């Protein structure tokens, strides 16, 4: 019973710490958390299925040398001022300063309308995906989500700790009661 109690306490604490990390990292980076130098992006459409599904979290590695990107690689890029897209490169055109990538979603029939300029490339997909966690990340980025994901695990941890302390005190009282009964007999 003590092992289960200890495991529950550790799991609740780790959940609280993880949620705090996700919320704080999301807010600090402007919406997308960073983890050991990788950007975590939420997949919002099915254009890359079956490579990754809608609602998944993918890890994107920032690119230091644009010349390392080749046909077949999956890149994340700025489509315009507000939209970020992750698609596969189907063709590379130009060189050096005029380098452009023709991209296409794996689930799309046609290539994207506009070529991607090298300057607009944010990073390269690393192959790391966590299905459905993106829904939680989007919720965590909302005001209500941020509050709930920090407050609820904290409250649950406090309640569980309070119950554990109450049980321990009750056991101590029971032990003292038995000892005083034995002494009086």
pLDDT at 29 over 60: no
CB 95 within 8 A of CB 88: no
Could you tell me which CATH class the domain 2-168 is placed in? Answer: mainly beta
Between CA 58 and CA 133 the distance in angstroms is 9
Cα 15 from Cα 20, distance rounded (Å): 8
Average pLDDT over residues 6-18: 76
Whole-model pTM: value is 0.64
Bigger pLDDT: 10 vs 92: 92
What pLDDT is attached to residue 115?
94
**pLDDT at site 24:** 67
Domain residue spans of the chain? 2-168
Higher pLDDT, 63 or 8: 63
Catalytically active residues are 45
Q: pLDDT by residue (tens digit) across 45-76?
A: 999 999 999 989 899 998 888 888 999 999 99
Mean pLDDT rounded to a whole number for the chain: 82
Q: What stretch of H or E contains 109?
A: none
Give the pLDDT confidence of 99-132 residue by residue, as tens digits: 899 999 999 999 999 999 988 999 999 888 888 8
């Amino acid at each position: 019973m003590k092992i289960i109690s200890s495991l529950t306490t550790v799991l609740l604490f780790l959940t609280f710490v993880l949620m705090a990390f996700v919320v704080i990292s999301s807010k600090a980076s402007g919406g997308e958390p960073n983890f050991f130098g990788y950007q975590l992006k939420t997949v919002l459409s099915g254009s890359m299925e079956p490579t990754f599904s809608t609602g998944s979290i993918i890890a994107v590695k920032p690119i230091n040398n644009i010349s390392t990107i080749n046909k077949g690689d999956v890149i994340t890029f700025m489509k315009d001022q507000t939209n970020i897209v992750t698609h596969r490169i189907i063709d590379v055109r130009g060189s050096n300063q005029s380098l452009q990538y023709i991209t296409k979603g794996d689930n799309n029939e046609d290539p994207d309308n506009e070529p991607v300029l090298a300057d607009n490339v944010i990073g390269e997909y690393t192959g790391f995906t966590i299905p459905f966690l993106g829904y939680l990340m989007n919720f965590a980025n909302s005001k209500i989500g941020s509050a709930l994901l920090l407050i609820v695990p904290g409250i649950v941890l406090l309640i569980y700790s309070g119950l554990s302390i109450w049980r321990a005190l009750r056991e101590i009282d029971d032990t003292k009661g038995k000892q005083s009964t034995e002494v009086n007999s």
